[in-house]
């Protein structure tokens, strides 16, 4: 399962706007459909490598793309059949159907399979769950090589509904931009490998997929404080803060202090016994404070958090510190990153609804902080509306302590100065990249090892 890096993501409504802007700029919708069909035909041609192809066409423009692809594949000499769910309903799809000179079979229980099945039944226009009958018809083709046009049919484009497609795809050709459903659970795995055919749509980049990790560049003039100084506040479960402190160093901080009964995870981490928190937090060289790893709610957390909030320094809040710090964050302006997993998110932002992207954006606006909503489908959102979706992450990160490592990495990136959203994006990218290099058997400690 892969998605293109740094690619635009559009909701169905934003897609319609982009499409209209394209039309206003002189590129007709028919031309867009021709380009979409051509992109699908190209991919299917290579995947089929001479094997017979069955294209399933729906009543809307998704079906229109299917008819265009069928025509272009036949011109190339491919063996193509088309099966349709009735006659096309949109003008564009009618025109695409008319240009296909081959036979159109009815799509029903008698439709014979082919080694390659192209699913052009429904895309962004799906408005309700597929009927059981239709789901049954599609499920008959499980086990074939399936290419989905725009989305596997049955998936709701914006990711707000957890409808699963009856026929998951091996390859999904996203048209114009990626859609939230390609990047969010539970639907993302059903898209298989998602490829983007940009077809000339000028998509806004406010929402995008995770960029590739930047190449490491050392500043020859840097010193340890200019690289970023991070203070990690330990709670009763000091191991979590130790992981965060080690991660801050490995992610590029120049100087890391672990405050409160901890053991240095690396010799280069400076350990304090906890009496000097206020003094450390006031250090003008300090670039970020991390509070929350291994620190359950209670008096101790409240005291430490008050010091951190009172310092005015950029903050990374994790675990119980998120809910505890929300009111203070929302009433001021500061660079801050919150790193909740789903349970912490639900407790801190119970009133949010919609897709994970919608909910994370609402949480960022409410808290006036960057929110890294963790999971296999991590979503990062900023109060100004920017979003990065980090699917598919790295499966080896699903183990204890990796969240503490991410909090430390956020601290390192934030302490460098600059935009908190870009810092969070860099930290998530670092985390996934490092995990992928280690691979199977990863434990959180490995992420801060050599």
Ligand X SMILES: NC(=O)C1=CN([C@@H]2O[C@H](COP(=O)(O)OP(=O)(O)OC[C@H]3O[C@@H](n4cnc5c(N)ncnc54)[C@H](O)[C@@H]3O)[C@@H](O)[C@H]2O)[C@@H](O)CC1
Q: To the nearest whole angstrom, how small is the minimum distance from the Cβ of residue 17 to ligand X?
A: 10
Binding characters for K ion, 101-120, by CB under 5 A (x = yes): ------------------x-
Q: Is residue 318 reached through a cis peptide bond, with omega within 30 degrees of 0 on the bond before it?
A: no
- In whole angstroms, what is the distance from residue 323 CA to residue 235 CA? 16
Which segment (56-64, 217-225, 238-246, 321-329) binds ligand X by CB under 6 A? 56-64
3-state secondary structure of 271: strand
- Tell me how many degrees the CA angle 267-273-278 measures, rounded to the nearest 5: 115
* Six token digits for residue 123: 């895309």
Q: To the nearest whole angstrom, how small is the minimum distance from the Cβ of residue 120 to ligand X?
A: 7
Binding characters for ligand X, 163-182, by CB under 6 A (x = yes): ------------xx------
A 10 A CB-CB count for 62 gives: 28
Q: Which residue has the tokens 């490092």?
A: 434
The DSSP-derived string for 78-110 is: --EEEEESSS--SHHHHHHHHH--S-EEE-STT
Of the candidate residues 3, 7, 9, 33, the single one contacting ligand X (CB under 6 A) = 33
Please report which helix (H) or strand (E) contains residue 272, including its range.
strand 270-272
Closest listed residue to residue 265, CA positions, set 403, 399, 404: 404
Task: State the distance between the two ends of the chain, measured CA to CA, in whole angstroms.
Answer: 28
Of the candidate residues 130, 171, 248, 281, the single one contacting ligand X (CB under 6 A) = 130
Q: Is 274 annotated as a binding residue?
A: no
Beta strands in 286-431 (DSSP E): 288-291, 315-317, 336-338, 370-373, 379-381, 387-389
Task: Indicate the residue among 165 and 260 with the shorter CB distance to ligand X.
Answer: 165
Of the candidate residues 15, 104, 184, 357, the single one contacting ligand X (CB under 6 A) = 15
Which segment (63-71, 266-274, 379-387, 440-448) binds ligand X by CB under 6 A? 63-71
Q: Is 262 annotated as a binding residue?
A: no
Which segment (75-83, 119-127, 369-377, 402-410) binds ligand X by CB under 6 A? 119-127
153 binds K ion (CB under 5 A): yes
Of the candidate residues 8, 64, 168, 403, the single one contacting ligand X (CB under 6 A) = 64
Of the candidate residues 115, 125, 300, 354, the single one contacting ligand X (CB under 6 A) = 125
Q: Is 424 annotated as a binding residue?
A: no
Task: Indicate the residue among 71 and 374 with the shorter CB distance to ligand X.
Answer: 71
Task: Indicate the residue among 128 and 223 with the shorter CB distance to ligand X.
Answer: 128
* Partner whose footprint covers residue 153, from K ion, ligand X, none (CB < 5 to 8 Å by kind): K ion
Q: Is residue 385 reached through a cis peptide bond, with omega within 30 degrees of 0 on the bond before it?
A: no
3-state secondary structure of 257: strand
Of the candidate residues 127, 217, 267, 331, the single one contacting ligand X (CB under 6 A) = 127
119, 84 contact by CB (below 8 A): no
3-state secondary structure of 427: helix
* Partner whose footprint covers residue 160, from ligand X, K ion, none (CB < 5 to 8 Å by kind): none
32 binds ligand X (CB under 6 A): yes
Of the candidate residues 39, 78, 137, 149, the single one contacting K ion (CB under 5 A) = 149
Q: To the nearest whole angstrom, how small is the minimum distance from the Cβ of residue 151 to ligand X?
A: 6
Residue 56 burial (C-beta neighbours within 10 Å; 0-12, 13-18, 19+) = buried
Q: To the nearest whole angstrom, how small is the minimum distance from the Cβ of residue 23 to K ion?
A: 22
The DSSP output letter for 147 is E
- In whole angstroms, what is the distance from residue 434 CA to residue 90 CA? 48
Closest listed residue to residue 95, CA positions, set 56, 67, 131, 120: 67
44 binds ligand X (CB under 6 A): no
Task: Indicate the residue among 131 and 267 with the shorter CB distance to ligand X.
Answer: 131
187 binds ligand X (CB under 6 A): no
191 binds ligand X (CB under 6 A): no
# chain residues binding ligand X, by CB under 6 A: 28
A 10 A CB-CB count for 33 gives: 23
45, 77 contact by CB (below 8 A): no
* Six token digits for residue 392: 């598919």
58 binds ligand X (CB under 6 A): yes
| Binding site residue list for K(+) | 62, 119, 153
Binding site residues, as ranges? 61-65, 119, 123-129, 150, 153
State the residues that interact with K ion by CB under 5 A. 119, 123, 148-149, 153
Interaction site with ligand X (CB under 6 A): 15, 19, 32-33, 36, 58-65, 89-90, 122-128, 130, 149-150, 175-176, 201
């Amino acid at each position: 399962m892969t998605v293109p890096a740094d690619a635009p993501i559009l909701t169905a409504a934003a897609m319609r706007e982009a499409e209209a802007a394209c039309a206003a700029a002189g590129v007709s919708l028919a031309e867009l459909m021709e380009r979409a069909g051509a992109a699908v035909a190209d991919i299917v041609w290579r995947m089929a490598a001479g094997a017979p192809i069955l294209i399933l066409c729906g009543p809307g423009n998704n079906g229109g793309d299917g008819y265009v692809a069928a025509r272009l594949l036949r011109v190339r000499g491919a063996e193509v059949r088309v099966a349709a769910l009735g006659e096309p309903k949109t003008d564009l799809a009618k025109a695409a159907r008319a240009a296909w000179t081959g036979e159109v079979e009815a799509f029903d229980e008698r439709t014979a399979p082919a080694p390659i099945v192209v699913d052009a039944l429904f895309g962004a226009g799906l408005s309700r769950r597929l009927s059981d009958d239709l789901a049954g018809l599609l499920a008959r083709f499980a086990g074939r090589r399936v290419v989905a046009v725009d989305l596997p049919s049955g998936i709701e484009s914006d990711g707000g509904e957890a409808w699963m497609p009856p026929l998951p795809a091996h390859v999904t050709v996203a048209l114009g931009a990626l859609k939230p459903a390609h990047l969010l659970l539970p639907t993302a795995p059903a898209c298989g490998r998602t490829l983007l055919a940009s077809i000339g749509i000028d998509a806004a980049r406010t929402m995008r997929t995770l960029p590739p990790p930047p190449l490491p560049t050392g500043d020859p003039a840097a010193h340890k404080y200019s690289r970023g100084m991070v203070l990690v506040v330990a709670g009763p479960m000091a191991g979590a803060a130790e992981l965060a402190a080690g991660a801050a160093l490995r992610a590029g901080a120049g100087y890391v202090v672990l405050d409160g009964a901890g053991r240095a995870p690396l010799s280069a981490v400076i350990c304090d016994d906890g009496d000097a928190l206020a003094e450390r937090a006031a250090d003008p060289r300090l670039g970020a404070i991390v509070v929350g790893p291994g620190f359950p709610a209670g008096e101790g957390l409240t005291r430490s958090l008050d010091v951190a909030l009172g310092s005015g320094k950029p903050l990374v809040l994790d675990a119980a510190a998120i809910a505890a710090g929300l009111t203070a964050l929302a009433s001021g302006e500061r660079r801050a990153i919150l790193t909740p997993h789903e349970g912490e998110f639900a407790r801190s932002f119970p009133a949010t609804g919609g897709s994970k992207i919608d909910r994370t954006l609402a949480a960022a606006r409410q808290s006036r902080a960057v929110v890294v909503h963790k999971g296999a489908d991590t979503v990062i959102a900023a109060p100004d509306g920017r979003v990065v979706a980090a699917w598919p992450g790295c499966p080896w990160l699903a183990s204890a302590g990796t969240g503490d490592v991410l909090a430390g990495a956020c601290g390192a990136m934030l302490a460098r100065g600059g935009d908190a959203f870009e810092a969070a994006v860099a930290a998530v990218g670092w985390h996934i990249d490092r995990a992928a290099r280690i691979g199977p058997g990863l434990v959180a400690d490995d992420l801060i090892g050599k």
